[in-house]
């Protein structure tokens, strides 16, 4: 009964979204207040209805109602509760309901907290949001309905793919979707601005928190996926340049560029046209990501919806919104006034460089991802574009970005002084140089470029530390003055520094583990010892056991470091009940220097067991860095000047008019 | 090996059942990205230098029956065959390039994760440079035309802005002099 109620609620939500698409925008056109005022209650009731649909579906999962086709196909009564819940979005249909729910949450947030928006802008934004909701609810109801019944109901469900039964992956999709869908806010604001034919600093101030919120969620979502791949897929890889990973990485790159260009627009009224275009492109890339994943055109390991009907539908949605947004941009961009001149060497100039390199990087990833598809469609020629292509093209583009990054926050607006900046960054240069020498001294092998990569990461990290210190006149002013100034720095200044610091740390993690990874593959018997990266591991045999919904074989390794017992590692191999599928669980021992990573292989003909051991130096920097980027963005979001819905002081509103 | 075959069998029957249920959700992920057992101990060459070369070559070769995995990462039987083939050729004294060429003559360019430069892939390899040139050109034109536009920009308020402004300032307050009144 509840599931029918959910189905009905979603249909109602569709009608409300349709009304919300048309009426407020029309009202804005006719300056009809009552029509525009419909937008807020409509988006709130849309949220309520989608929430009912979502909760109904979740209820069916938690109570294991196998008379619902979607539940029967993707859940199992023996599954732990957390995976019954995450099972809701662990499949195509349910994940689209989550998509629409997050979209509705963002729309309702504008309705609730958008009191300081000009009425026409608010009406137009909510109309555009509702048009996206209309398209996707229609998509769910017509091609991917999770509310269908199954008669007769099976005794038990098919189960959720075991490798998806994992805490990090349980929350990977919601964060990813909060990122994808969050960029719809930037899109809606951009389209609304184009409809009205005007944007100003205030517009950028409204767009920036939404973009930042989406960006931090996407950052965390991607990091969770990468962390999961690292420990679950069993060979310690953390990024594969898989098309589906690229599909989430492209909006991230474009979104990062958007955050920085919106900053220029807010502070200096410059880059307006570009920022609006970037807002449209970022969401278009999110839609494209959805299309690539949902349609299965890439037939990559992630694509679990191989269905041309759905693919075509999402393609139409994508073309409609991207094409519509770009056409509107082409027609109306001329109406946007540009402002704010600046010299190439200036804060604005630095942010332009940021945008040049991030956009080029994004275009490169896009090209590498779609090229094989296009070439095959046009000529029938099949090629593979894998990690070696991206390492050869994308990575070199990021080097100048990282080199320039620490200087950016030190440059003055309008016209900067590169010499003064380099003096203030002296200690960062010193840190990088010391890191370079130390890495050359410590590393016995590995590519000669790797120490430069480590130095680059240190340069970014040290620059990030120096940024707030320099603003507080550290080393110049008295201790009291420095402390007072540090206390008075806005949260966004610390947020920027923290995020940049995290990026530097991630760079070090990436370089460290890519260049200096140690690996051993060998057959082991009980009692055998093996040495790797200063650790000594003794294999103490295998034991069989039983988990809630799987059987497993667990190995015991006693680990010594420097002659002293360090830890015990228990890597295992599992066979799940439903679906009956094997997985490996790595045994990982983390230290400051890196991760000791042990995986069990197959039993060998002679009775021994294949064991794969890795030492992944500095690898945690990747995810700690990503978490710092998340926290840094969050800190900026808490800044009063940026807080969602916080009215700016009246004086700040007058200033742009001068 | 036996466990793998059993898992593959079970996965196959599972997919059949799902098709009966009318579901399009193929568990590609489950079948392909299962536990990675990739390089087996018996494959590893005794000469570490030769083994390192084998690993480097393997990382650049696509597992043809997998989706977007190199033969170095894959546990598919075909990937194992290719790994053994690479090692065999290396032991026979071929150079890295010769081994790669040998594999390409058998399986075509599709096997290379780094596509070779030829007519069909020129655009692929040129794209980063093209994109960078366009971005740089756009940025340079921004600096060139910056000056005249800036003079015109931000000078005046629209009627709506002015209404909003007076609303914010309140009826008792006068608006700032000069440009603000100048519509």
Q: Which of B73, B89, B118 is the last residue of a domain?
A: B118
Choose between A115 and A593: higher pLDDT: A593
pLDDT tier at B14 (50, 70, 90 boundaries)?
A: very low
What residues in B contact A580, CB-CB < 8 Å?
7, 10, 14
Q: Do A118 and B160 touch (CB under 8 A)?
A: yes
B28: nearest CB among A69, A303, A397: A303
pLDDT band at A402 (very low <50, low <70, confident <90, very high): very high
Cβ-Cβ pairs closer than 8 A, A with B, add up to 240
Kindly report the nearest CA distance between residue B84 and chain A, in angstroms: 15
* Cβ within 8 Å, pair B27-A161: yes
Same domain, B89 and B135: no
Poorest-confidence range of A580-589, B3-12, B99-108? Answer: B3-12
Partner-chain contact A360 B131, CB within 8 Å: yes
Interface test with B, best of A380, A602, A612 (most B CBs within 10 A): A602
- Lowest-pLDDT choice from A263-267, A538-542, A631-635: A263-267
Chain B positions in Cβ-Cβ contact with residue A384 (cut-off 8 Å): 62, 68, 109-113, 115
Q: Cβ of B128 and A397 within 8 Å? A: yes
Contact between chains at A364 and B10 (C-beta distance less than 8 A): no
Q: How far is B93 from chain A (nearest CA, A)?
A: 24
Q: Is the pLDDT of residue A545 over 70?
A: yes
Q: What pLDDT shows up at residue A595?
A: 92
B65 and B140 inside one domain: no
Please tell me whether the overall predicted TM-score, pTM, comes out greater than 0.80 for this model. Answer: yes
Higher pLDDT, A96 or B158: A96
Candidates A553, A581, A650: best to mutate against B (most CBs of B within 10 A) is: A581
Q: Work out the average pLDDT over A144-153.
A: 88
> Between A75 and B145, where is the model more confident?
A75
For chain A positions 454-513, those within 8 Å of chain B (CB to CB) are none
Output A545 or A200, whichever has higher pLDDT: A545
Tell whether B98 and B127 lie within a shared domain.
no
Closest-CA residue of chain B to A335: B153
- Interface mutation vs chain B, best among A301, A348, A387, most B CBs within 10 Å: A301
| Owning domain of residue B153 | 121-180
Chain A residues touching residue B27 (CB < 8 angstroms): 161, 304, 579
pLDDT at B132: 95
Cβ–Cβ contact A172 with B under 8 A: no
Chain A stretch 277-316, residues whose beta carbon is closer than 8 A to a beta carbon of chain B: 299-307, 310
- Structure confidence by residue, pLDDT tens digits, A350-362: 999 999 999 999 9
Residue A301 to residue B69, Cβ atoms within 8 A? yes
What pLDDT is recorded for position A113? Answer: 87
Q: Which residue from B4, B23, B62 is facing A73, i.e. has the nearest CB?
A: B23
Residue B36 sits in the same domain as residue B64: yes
Alpha carbon distance B104, B64 (integer Å): 12
Residue A480: what pLDDT?
87
Residue B23's pLDDT is what?
30
Tens of pLDDT, residues A161-217? 777 788 878 888 899 999 999 999 999 999 999 988 877 777 888 888 899 999 999
Helix (H) or strand (E) holding A228: helix A201-232
Q: Which pLDDT does position B153 carry in this prediction?
A: 42
Q: Is A604 on the interface with B (CB under 8 A)?
A: yes
Confidence of residue A643 (pLDDT cuts 50, 70, 90): low
Binned at pLDDT 50, 70 and 90, residue A521 comes out as confident
Domain shared by B15 and B61, yes or no = yes
* Residue B156 Rama label (left phi>0; alpha psi -120 to 50; beta): beta
**Is the Cβ pair A302, B108 closer than 8 Å?**
no
Contacts of A339 in chain B (CB under 8 A): 149-150, 153-154
Distance from CA of A479 to the nearest CA of B (A): 40
> Could you tell me the CA-to-CA distances from A603 to A523, B35, B45 in Å, in that order?
8, 14, 20
The stretch A148-163 carries a mean pLDDT of 82
Q: Is residue A167 within 8 angstroms of chain B, CB to CB?
A: no
Q: Are A201 and A127 in contact (CB under 8 A)?
A: no
Please report the pLDDT score of residue A168 as a whole number.
79
Residue A102, pLDDT score: 95
Contact flag A233-B33 (C-beta cutoff 8 Å):
yes
A residues 324-363 closer than 8 Å to B (CB): 337-344, 352-353, 355-356, 359-360, 363
* pLDDT tens-digit series, residues A309-347: 787 888 889 899 999 999 999 888 887 776 677 888 888
Radius of gyration for the alpha carbons in chain A, expressed in angstroms and rounded = 27
Q: Across the interface, do A234 and B108 touch by the CB < 8 Å criterion? A: no
Quote the Cα angle for A490-A493-A497, to 5°.
Answer: 150
How large a percentage of chain A has pLDDT more than 70?
95
DSSP class per residue in A604-658? PTTS-EEEEEEEEETTHHHHHHHHHHHHHHHHHHTSTTT-TTPPPPHHHHHGGG-
The DSSP 8-state label assigned to residue A562 in this structure reads T
B182 Cα to chain A: minimum distance (Å): 11
Domains and CATH numbers, chain A: 1-165 (1.20.120), 198-337+345-404 (no CATH), 405-517+621-626 (no CATH), 519-618 (no CATH)
Is the pLDDT at B124 greater than 90? The verdict is yes
State how many domains chain B has: 2
Closest chain A residue to B20 measured between Cα atoms? A73
- Cα B130 to Cα A12: distance, rounded to the nearest angstrom: 48
Please judge whether B165 and A654 are an interchain contact, meaning their C-beta atoms are less than 8 angstroms apart: yes
Residue B172 has pLDDT above 60, yes or no: no
Rounded to whole angstroms, the Cα distance separating A534 from A319 reads 55
Say how far apart CA A39 and CA A43 lie, in whole Å: 6
Q: Give A337's contacts in chain B (Cβ within 8 Å).
A: 149, 152-154
The pLDDT value recorded for residue A554 is 93
Same domain, B139 and B87: no
Distance CA B133, CA B137 (A): 6
Residue A336: per-residue pLDDT: 76
Per-residue confidence band for A404, with pLDDT thresholds at 50, 70 and 90: very high
Per-residue pLDDT for B10 more than 60? no
Residue A38 per-residue DSSP state: T
| Yes or no, beta carbons of A69 and B21 under 8 Å apart | yes
Of B118, B141, B164, the domain-final residue: B118
- Give me the long-range contacts of A429-438 (CB less than 8 A, separation at least 24): A429/A459, A431/A458, A431/A459, A431/A461, A431/A462, A432/A456, A432/A458, A432/A459, A432/A462, A434/A458
Burial status of residue A81 (CB atoms within 10 A of its CB: 0-12, 13-18, 19 or more): exposed
Question: Best residue in B1, B25, B139 to probe A by mutation, most A CBs within 10 Å?
Answer: B25
Question: So what's the pLDDT on residue A298?
Answer: 66
Question: Quick check: B114 and A388 CB within 8 A?
Answer: yes
Tell me: pLDDT of A149 over 50.
yes
Summarize the confidence of residues A442-463 as an average pLDDT.
90
Predicted pLDDT at B165: 67
Q: Are residues B137 and B100 in the same domain?
A: no
Minimal CA separation from A331 to chain B, in Å: 19
Give A255 or A304, the one with higher predicted confidence: A255
Nearest to B32 among A301, A367, A385 (CB): A301
Residue for token pair 């055109």 = A297
Query: Mean pLDDT across the stretch B154-173?
Result: 58
Q: Which of B64, B88, B118 represents a domain boundary (last residue)? A: B118
Q: What residues in B contact A610, CB-CB < 8 Å?
A: 37, 40-41
Backbone angles phi, psi at A558, to 5 degrees: -95, 125
Range 229-248 of A in CB contact (< 8 A) with B: 233-235, 237, 240, 242-243
> What is the nearest CA distance from A16 to chain B, expressed in angstroms?
30
Interface of A with B in 45-74 (CB under 8 A): 69, 72-74
Residues of A in contact with B28 (CB under 8 A): 299, 301, 303-304, 306
- Asked whether the predicted pLDDT for residue B156 surpasses 80, the reply is no
- Interchain contact, A382 vs B108, CB within 8 Å: yes
Query: What average pLDDT score do residues A29-57 get?
Result: 93
Are B10 and B89 found together in one domain? Answer: yes
Which of the given ranges, A261-275, A364-378, A387-401, has the highest pLDDT on average? A387-401
pLDDT of residue B2: 46
B40/B84 same-domain check: yes
Tens-digit pLDDT profile for residues B48-73: 888 889 988 998 999 887 777 888 88
Is residue A475 over pLDDT 60? yes
- B73: domain CATH number is 1.10.8.640
pLDDT of residue B35: 44
Query: Which of A139, A138, A107 has the alpha carbon at shortest distance from A20?
Result: A107
What pLDDT was estimated at residue A141? 94
What average pLDDT does chain A have?
Answer: 88
Residues B143 and B78 in one domain: no
| pLDDT at A487 (0 to 100) | 87
Query: If DSSP states are collapsed to H, E and C, what string results for A416-480?
Result: CCHHHHHHHCHHHHHHHHHHHHHHHHHCCCCCCCHHHHHHHHHHHHHHHHHHHHHHCCCCCCCHH
Task: Select, from the ranges A161-175, A438-452, B127-141, the one with the highest average predicted confidence (pLDDT).
Answer: B127-141
Could you give the ipTM of this predicted complex?
0.86
Q: Do B83 and B163 lie in a common domain?
A: no
**B149 and B106 in a common domain:** no
How high is the pLDDT of residue A641? 62
CB atoms within 10 A of CB A606: 8
Tell me the pLDDT band of B177, cut-offs 50, 70 and 90: very low
Q: Does A602 sit within 8 Å of B60, measured CB to CB?
A: no
Contacts of B112 in chain A (CB under 8 A): 383-384
Which tens digits make up the pLDDT trace of A592-609? 899 999 998 888 888 888
């Amino acid at each position: 009964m509840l599931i029918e109620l959910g189905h009905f609620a979603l249909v109602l939500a569709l009608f409300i979204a349709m009304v919300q698409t048309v009426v407020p925008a029309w009202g804005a056109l006719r300056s009809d207040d009552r029509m525009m005022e419909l937008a807020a209650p409509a988006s709130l009731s849309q949220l309520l209805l989608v929430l009912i649909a979502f909760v109904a579906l979740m209820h069916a999962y938690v109570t294991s109602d196998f008379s619902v086709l979607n539940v029967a196909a993707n859940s199992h009564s023996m599954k732990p509760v957390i995976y019954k819940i995450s099972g809701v979005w662990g499949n195509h249909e349910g994940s689209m309901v989550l998509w629409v729910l997050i979209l509705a949450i963002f729309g309702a947030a504008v309705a609730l907290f958008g009191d300081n928006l000009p009425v026409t802008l608010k009406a137009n934004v909510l109309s555009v949001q509702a048009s996206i909701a209309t398209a996707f609810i229609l998509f769910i109801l017509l091609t991917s309905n999770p509310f269908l019944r199954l008669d007769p109901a099976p005794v038990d469900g098919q189960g959720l793919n075991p490798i998806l039964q994992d805490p990090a992956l349980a929350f990977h999709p919601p964060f990813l979707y909060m990122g994808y869908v969050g960029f719809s806010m930037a899109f809606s604001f951009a389209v609304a601005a184009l409809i009205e034919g005007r944007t100003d600093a205030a517009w950028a101030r409204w767009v920036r928190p939404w973009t930042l919120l989406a960006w931090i969620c996407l950052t965390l979502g991607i990091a969770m996926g990468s962390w999961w791949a690292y420990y679950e897929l069993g060979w310690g890889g953390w990024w594969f340049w898989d098309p589906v990973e690229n599909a989430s990485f492209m909006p991230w790159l474009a979104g990062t560029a958007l955050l920085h260009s919106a900053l220029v627009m807010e502070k200096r009224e410059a880059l307006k046209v570009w920022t609006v275009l970037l807002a449209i492109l970022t969401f278009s890339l999110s839609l494209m990501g959805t299309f690539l994943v949902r349609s299965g055109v890439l037939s990559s390991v992630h694509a679990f919806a191989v269905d041309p009907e759905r693919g075509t539908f999402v393609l139409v949605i994508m073309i409609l919104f991207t094409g519509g947004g770009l056409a509107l941009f082409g027609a109306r961009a001329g109406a946007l006034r540009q402002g704010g001149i600046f010299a190439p060497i200036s804060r604005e100039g630095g942010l332009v460089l940021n945008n040049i390199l991030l956009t080029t990087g994004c275009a490169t990833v896009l090209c590498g991802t779609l090229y094989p598809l296009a070439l095959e469609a046009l000529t029938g020629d099949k090629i593979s574009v894998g990690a070696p292509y991206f390492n050869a093209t994308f990575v070199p583009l990021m080097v100048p970005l990282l080199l320039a990054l620490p200087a950016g926050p030190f440059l003055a607006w309008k016209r900067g002084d590169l010499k003064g900046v380099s003096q203030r960054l002296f200690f960062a240069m010193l840190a990088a140089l010391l890191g370079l020498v130390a890495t050359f001294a410590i590393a016995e092998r590995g590519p000669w470029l790797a120490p430069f990569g480590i130095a680059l990461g240190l340069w970014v990290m040290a620059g990030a530390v120096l940024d707030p210190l320099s603003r507080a006149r550290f080393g110049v002013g008295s201790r009291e003055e420095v402390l007072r100034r540090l206390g008075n720095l806005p949260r966004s200044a610390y947020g920027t520094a923290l995020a940049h610091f995290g990026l530097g740390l991630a760079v070090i993690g990436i370089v460290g583990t890519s260049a200096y990874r140690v690996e051993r593959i060998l057959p082991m018997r009980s009692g055998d010892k093996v040495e790797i990266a200063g650790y000594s591991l003794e294999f103490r045999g295998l034991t069989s056991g039983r988990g809630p919904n799987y059987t497993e074989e667990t190995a015991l390794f006693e680990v010594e470091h420097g002659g002293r017992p360090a830890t015990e590692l228990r890597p295992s191999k599992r066979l799940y009940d439903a679906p009956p599928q094997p997985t490996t669980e790595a045994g990982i021992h983390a230290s400051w220097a890196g991760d000791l990573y042990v995986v069990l292989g197959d039993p060998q003909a002679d009775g021994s067991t294949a064991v794969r051991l890795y030492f992944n130096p500095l690898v945690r920097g990747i995810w700690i860095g990503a978490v710092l980027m998340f926290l840094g963005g969050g800190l900026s979001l808490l800044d009063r000047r940026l807080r969602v819905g916080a009215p700016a002081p009246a004086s700040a509103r007058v200033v742009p008019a001068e | 090996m036996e466990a793998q075959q059993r898992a593959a069998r079970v996965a196959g029957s599972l997919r059949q059942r799902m098709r009966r249920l009318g579901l399009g959700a193929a568990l590609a992920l489950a079948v392909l990205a299962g536990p990675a057992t990739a390089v087996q101990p018996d494959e590893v060459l005794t000469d570490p230098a030769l083994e390192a070369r084998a690993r480097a070559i393997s990382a650049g070769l696509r597992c043809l029956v997998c989706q977007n995995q190199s033969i170095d990462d894959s546990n598919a039987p075909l990937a194992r065959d290719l790994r053994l083939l690479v090692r065999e050729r290396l032991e026979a004294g071929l150079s890295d390039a010769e081994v790669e060429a040998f594999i390409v003559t058998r399986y075509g360019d599709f096997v290379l994760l780094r596509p070779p430069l030829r007519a069909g892939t020129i655009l692929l390899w040129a794209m980063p440079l093209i994109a960078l040139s366009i971005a740089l050109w756009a940025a340079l034109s921004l600096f060139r035309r910056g000056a005249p536009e800036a003079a015109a920009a931000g000078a005046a308020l629209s009627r709506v802005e002015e209404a909003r402004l007076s609303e914010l300032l309140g009826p008792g307050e006068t608006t700032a002099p000069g440009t603000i009144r100048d519509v």
